[in-house]
Chains A and B, each alone.
Chain A
Amino acid sequence: MTDLADDPVTAPPAPGTFDELVLATGERMLRTAVLLTGDRHAAEDLVQSAYAQAYARWRLVSRAENPAAYTRAILTRLYLSDRRRKRVREHPLHDKADVAATTGDPALRLSLMEALATLPPLDRAVLVLRYFHDLPVAEVADQTGLSESACRTRASRALARLRTHFPDLND
Chain B
Amino acid sequence: MLLHDLMDDAVADVTADLPELARTSRRQGTAARRRRRAITAVGVAVAGTVLAAGVYALVPGDRGSDSTVATDVGTEVRVGELSGRTAPITARGAAAALADAVTDRVPGTISSLQGSADRGEAMATLVFLPDHGPGPAGTVFLNLQPISMAPEKPGCAMPWMATCSLEQQPNGDIRRTYLEEDDTEFGQGSQRLTVEVISPDRGLRLVVSAMNTSPSADGAMGIMPVLTSGELRDIAALPWWGRTRLPVEYVEAGERLDDYADATENES
Given the interface contacts A35-B10, A109-B9, does A60 sit within 8 Å of B224 by beta carbon? Answer: no
Partner of B8, one of A1, A47, A82: A1
**B134 within 8 Å of A by Cβ?**
yes
CA gap between A80 and B36 in the complex, in Å: 22
Query: CB-CB < 8 A to B26: which residues of A?
Result: 18-19, 52, 55
Chain A residues within 8 Å of chain B by Cβ, number: 70
Q: State the Cβ distance, B99 to closest chain A Cβ, in Å.
A: 15
Given the interface contacts A143-B228, A146-B224, does A55 sit within 8 Å of B163 by beta carbon? Answer: no
CA gap between A166 and B222 in the complex, in Å: 33
Closest A residue to B64 by beta carbon equals: A59
B27-35, B44-52, B141-149 - interface stretch: B27-35
Q: State the Cβ distance, A90 to closest chain B Cβ, in Å.
A: 15
CA gap between A85 and B132 in the complex, in Å: 12
Question: Which B residues from 11 to 68 make CB contacts under 8 A with A?
Answer: 11-16, 18-19, 21-22, 24-26, 28-33, 36, 62, 64-65
Closest A residue to B227 by beta carbon equals: A145
Q: Is the CB of B1 within 8 A of A102?
A: no
**B107 within 8 Å of A by Cβ?**
yes
Query: CB-CB < 8 A to B130: which residues of A?
Result: 77
Chain B residues within 8 Å of chain A by Cβ, number: 55
The 8 A-B pairs of least Cβ separation, nearest first, read A55-B29, A147-B163, A145-B224, A51-B25, A81-B133, A142-B230, A52-B28, A31-B11
Q: Is the CB of B132 within 8 A of A55?
A: no
Given the interface contacts A40-B14, A60-B64, A145-B229, does A23 sit within 8 Å of B22 by beta carbon? Answer: yes
Query: Residue-by-residue, is A21-38 near B (CB-CB < 8 Å gives 1, otherwise 0)?
Result: 011001100110011000
**A97 within 8 Å of B by Cβ?**
no
Q: Is the CB of A162 within 8 A of B3?
A: yes
Given the interface contacts A22-B21, A53-B29, A162-B3, does A27 sit within 8 Å of B16 by beta carbon? Answer: yes
Query: CB-CB < 8 A to A77: which residues of B?
Result: 130, 132-133
**B225 within 8 Å of A by Cβ?**
yes
Q: Is the CB of A47 within 8 A of B3?
A: no
Secondary structure of the B side of the interface? mixed
CA gap between A151 and B240 in the complex, in Å: 32
Partner of A150, one of B31, B65, B163: B163
Given the interface contacts A109-B10, A147-B179, does A51 sit within 8 Å of B22 by beta carbon? Answer: yes
Query: Residue-by-residue, is B142-169 near A (CB-CB < 8 Å gives 1, otherwise 0)?
Result: 0000000000000000000011110000
Q: Is the CB of B15 within 8 A of A170?
A: no
Query: Residue-by-residue, is B210-247 near A (CB-CB < 8 Å gives 1, otherwise 0)?
Result: 00000000000011110011110000000000000000
Query: CB-CB < 8 A to B24: which residues of A?
Result: 48
CA gap between A79 and B16 in the complex, in Å: 19
Q: Is the CB of B222 within 8 A of A84?
A: yes
Partner of B105, one of A60, A132, A147: A60
Q: Is the CB of A34 within 8 A of B11?
A: yes
Query: CB-CB < 8 A to B18: which residues of A?
Result: 22-23, 26-27
**A10 within 8 Å of B by Cβ?**
no
CA gap between A143 and B225 in the complex, in Å: 12
**A68 within 8 Å of B by Cβ?**
no
CA gap between A38 and B150 in the complex, in Å: 47
Q: Is the CB of A142 within 8 A of B228?
A: yes
Query: CB-CB < 8 A to B222: which residues of A?
Result: 81, 84
CA gap between A159 and B165 in the complex, in Å: 25
Given the interface contacts A84-B222, A132-B4, A142-B228, does A19 sit within 8 Å of B14 by beta carbon? Answer: no
Q: Is the CB of A56 within 8 A of B32?
A: yes
**A95 within 8 Å of B by Cβ?**
no
Given the interface contacts A122-B223, A147-B179, A162-B3, does A84 sit within 8 Å of B134 by beta carbon? Answer: yes
